[in-house]
């Protein structure tokens, strides 16, 4: 007997391409899609992480390739391998992305180019490869881009990353409308703070966001995100449960995009400023 979710989701037996699927958020996304019967084609730069993923899903019908999603030929080879293996494509999840911290005036055109390649251009290439396949399949499809809260607010130290991710969101909006007649949906998932090995590279200052007391101040739901907070959203967007949702963004951020600069200070309560006693101590 199949349960309510399995019946409504329609995920069992579908095929998904996931870029950056061997580590961090991508790994959780692959595991949760696979748990729902999805056959994944994964591309990841990290050979060790790819081997570990192959091992953990060894009993599943899966493709795991090592390569750089920024290279259009490598992406095309992944889609071709999925065609050959399964002859269908239902879902594309663009996970690859990343940044470095620097004030904009300290960055160079070379750095901007790297950020645009890592966060924006491969999304175009992957969508250009996915959409015709989904259209030819005649069953619709779902494209999910992992963006960030920084696409929706100022991000000091991350100006070009934030601009690139905002561009992904705007691209997704237009693509959603262009592809809607073919029932191909395009949506974004915009996390805030989810500890992953990549995010650890930015840890600086006093680690307040990871500390329970700090998380209670900065995050309305009072804790950092978990990888499953993001993968749950991706499973939903890949599934038929979201069949009437396109051109939009889910925010698994514990409420930080809603609180938008308001903090829940101990004793003082919510304020959109730092109470003086914290600054004077
Ligand atoms: N972790 C967070 O808190 C957070 C918050 C907001 C947005 N995001 C976004 O989520 C996505 C994943 O973030 P993460 O923290 O899991 O990062 P991560 O660096 O752990 O990336 C996930 C995987 O992508 C792979 N990868 C990186 N560059 C690649 C490339 N060019 N080609 C193929 N594979 C590549 C990595 O090897 C890794 O296995 C990124 O787009 C990031 O901007 C993350």
The token pair that represents 19 in the structure block? 């870029």
Q: 118 C-alpha to center of ligand 1: Å? A: 10
Distance in angstroms (rounded) separating the CA atoms of residues 148 and 38? 25
What are the residues whose beta carbons fall under 8 Å from the beta carbon of 66, sequence distance 6 or more? Answer: 43, 44, 45, 46, 47, 50
Catalytic residue among 161, 244, 273, 278: 161
Q: Residue 66 forms beta bridges with which residues?
A: 44
Q: Which residue, by CA, sits nearest to atom 28 of ligand 1? A: 96
Q: In the predicted model, what is the mean pLDDT of residues 255-265?
A: 97
pLDDT in the model for residue 204: 56
Q: Residue 40 forms beta bridges with which residues?
A: 16
Question: Could you tell which of 74, 93, 95, 191 is best to mutate to test the pocket of ligand 1, judged by most ligand atoms within 8 Å of the CB?
Answer: 95
Q: 205 C-alpha to center of ligand 1: Å? A: 22
Q: 181 C-alpha to center of ligand 1: Å? A: 31
> Per residue in 76-111, pLDDT tens?
999 999 999 999 999 999 999 999 999 999 999 999
Q: In the predicted model, what is the mean pLDDT of residues 184-203?
A: 88
Global pTM reads 0.97
pLDDT classification of 224: cutoffs 50, 70, 90: very high
pLDDT classification of 198: cutoffs 50, 70, 90: confident
Q: Is 194 in the pocket of ligand 1 (CB under 6 A)?
A: yes
In the residue annotation, 161 being an active-site residue is answered as: yes
Q: Specify whether the CB–CB gap between 220 and 258 falls below 8 A.
A: yes
pLDDT classification of 208: cutoffs 50, 70, 90: confident
């Amino acid at each position: 007997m199949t349960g309510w979710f399995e019946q409504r989701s329609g995920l069992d037996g579908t095929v998904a391409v996931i870029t950056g699927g061997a580590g961090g958020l991508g790994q959780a996304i692959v595991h949760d899609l696979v748990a729902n019967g999805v056959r994944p084609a994964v591309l990841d730069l990290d050979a060790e992480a790819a081997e570990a993923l192959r091992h953990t899903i060894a009993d599943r019908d899966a493709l795991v390739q090592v390569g750089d999603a920024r290279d259009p030929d490598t992406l095309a080879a992944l889609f071709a391998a999925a065609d050959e293996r399964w002859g269908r494509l239902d879902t594309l999840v663009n996970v690859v992305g990343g940044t470095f911290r620097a004030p904009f005036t300290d960055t160079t055109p070379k750095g901007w180019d790297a950020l645009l390649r890592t966060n924006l251009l491969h999304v175009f290439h992957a969508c250009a490869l996915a959409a015709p396949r989904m259209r030819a399949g005649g069953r619709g499809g779902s494209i999910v881009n992992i963006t960030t809260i920084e696409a929706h607010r100022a991000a000091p130290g991350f100006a070009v990353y934030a601009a690139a991710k905002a561009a992904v969101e705007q691209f997704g909006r237009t693509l959603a409308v262009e592809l809607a007649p073919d029932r191909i949906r395009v949506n974004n998932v915009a996390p805030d703070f989810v500890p992953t090995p990549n995010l650890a590279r930015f840890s600086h200052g006093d680690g307040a966001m990871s500390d329970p007391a700090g998380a209670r101040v900065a995050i309305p739901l009072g804790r950092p995100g978990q990888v499953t907070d993001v993968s749950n959203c991706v499973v939903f967007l890949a599934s038929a449960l979201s069949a009437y949702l396109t051109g939009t963004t889910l925010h698994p951020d514990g409420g930080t995009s809603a609180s938008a600069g308001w903090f829940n200070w101990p004793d003082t309560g919510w304020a959109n400023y730092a109470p003086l006693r914290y600054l004077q101590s």
